[in-house]
Structure 1
Amino acid sequence: MELLIEFFSSYGYFAVFFVLLICGFGVPIPEDITLVSGGVISGLGYTNVHWMLVVSMIGVLVGDSTMYWLGRIYGEKILKFPLIRKIATPERFATVQDRFEKEGWKLLFVARFLPGLRAVVYLVSGITRKVTFTRFVLVDFFAAIISVPIWVYLGDFGAKNLDWLHAQIQKGQMVIWVILIIGGIFVFWKWKKSRKAKSVDSPTQNTDNQP
């Protein structure tokens, strides 16, 4: 985080936007740390925190949208590109594609909180064309508006106490994972319940159809 703070302090909004853009491409730079670092330089007086939030939201949405359009324009041919091939491995791509067929826009929303799969999900959404770009942006915006302000304002608030800030980041990441796990368990429970209900109804329907 210290390296990002130093870089952002020198180049301001442009640097934050650039790093968030390449984060959207799946480059292994933690997006939450990038956002917090942007908030930190605001807290240190280099930028305005409210404008930093606007720049951060635009950087996040443009980066995510780029992955969507790469998938939509090139289709599965994009998977042959060296950089994309490292991000979207065949196994990861197959897993995300299968989940996307079942979950659609719900997976898009959750993907914002899944650093390892985020770029692949956005790529798949473009390749499958099951989600229009308008819906993609709306879902991505509503997911981003939950997390982005939290990280930026947290960085601004703790700019002068980085040890405290590191501790809060870890707590925040833990809370996000707990919420995702609970949500995953709930979705799995609903799926099992729905499947069980269908299996109970099926024999009845077969009996009714008999002559």
Structure 2
Amino acid sequence: MQLLERLILLFAESGYLAVFGALLLCGAGAPLPEDITLVAGGVIAGLGFANVHAMVVVALVGVLAGDAAMFLLGHRHGARIMQWPLVARLLTPARYAQVQEKFARYGNRLLFLARFLPGMRTAVYVTAGATHRVSFLRFFLLDGLAALISVPLWVYLGYAGADKREWLAMWIGRGQHGMWILAGLGVLVVAALWWWRRRRARRSAGNG
């Protein structure tokens, strides 16, 4: 909770811009938990330093901009990006192999699940871009769907617990587990839509 308090002080002084910048750093793989950053943004809204709905929008833009930047860097520079000193620390050969294994197991659904995998998120996005496994549009849609689940949840949680820090600490812990339930539901929805579209395409081909 010490980190949360520090972020609250920083964000209260600098407002939306500080939240946006911090989320860009999260996207770049900085050792700054995205969930705590989002909660801090919600807290300052609850304390009257910002509008909570505007904070959700700013947070969504910051999260997606950071993720997109990592994907596009990988897409532009390919495997060469792994030779960059900062990227090499984040994406070691062992972690790269781990991400590849997860892609083989989950396919492009990993881009959705990565939002709920602290420590793996940036590595997944860089790898997806570098290996050209998926188009930017598909990446953005999957990442955006996941962000629409996680970002409002954390910001509104911070807003609700702005003056109830013990309650907030309890729900941050519960929320970190609950995100996996939401992620699972999201995967089921995506899988159901994919199955429905495939079945519809087969019917159309059969009728043709």
TM-score range, shorter chain: 0.7 to 0.9
Deviations 1:91-148 (A, max 9, x none): 0011102322443320100000001110010001101112111111110010110111
Deviations 1:161-200 (A, max 9, x none): 111101110111123356779999x9xxxxxxxxxxxxxx
Deviations 1:67-105 (A, max 9, x none): 101101111111111111111111001110232244332
Q: Contact 2:21–2:62 at 8 Å: present in 1 too?
A: yes
Q: After the TM superposition, which residues 46-125 of structure 1 pair with which residues of structure 2 at under 5 Å, given as runs?
A: 46-125=49-128
Q: After the TM superposition, which residues 7-46 of structure 1 pair with which residues of structure 2 at under 5 Å, given as runs?
A: 7-46=10-49
Q: Contact 1:41–1:156 at 8 Å: present in 2 too?
A: yes
Larger C-alpha radius of gyration, 1 or 2?
Answer: 1
Q: CA RMSD in A?
A: 2.0
Distance change >3 Å, CA 109–CA 182, structure 1 → 2: closer
Q: Distance in 2 between matches of 1:43 and 1:162?
A: 12
Q: What percent of counterpart residues are identical?
A: 51
Of 126, 131, 138 in structure 1, the residue corresponding to residue 129 of structure 2 is: 126
* Amino acid aligned to 2:172: I
Runs of 4+ displaced beyond 6 Å: 178-184
> TM-score w.r.t. structure 2 length?
0.84
Aligned residues between the structures: 185
Distance change >3 Å, CA 175–CA 71, structure 1 → 2: same
Q: Contact 2:56–2:151 at 8 Å: present in 1 too?
A: yes
* Amino acid aligned to 2:174: K
Gaps of 5+ in 1: 187-211
Q: Distance in 1 between matches of 2:57 and 2:100?
A: 32
Q: Partner residue of 1:192?
A: none
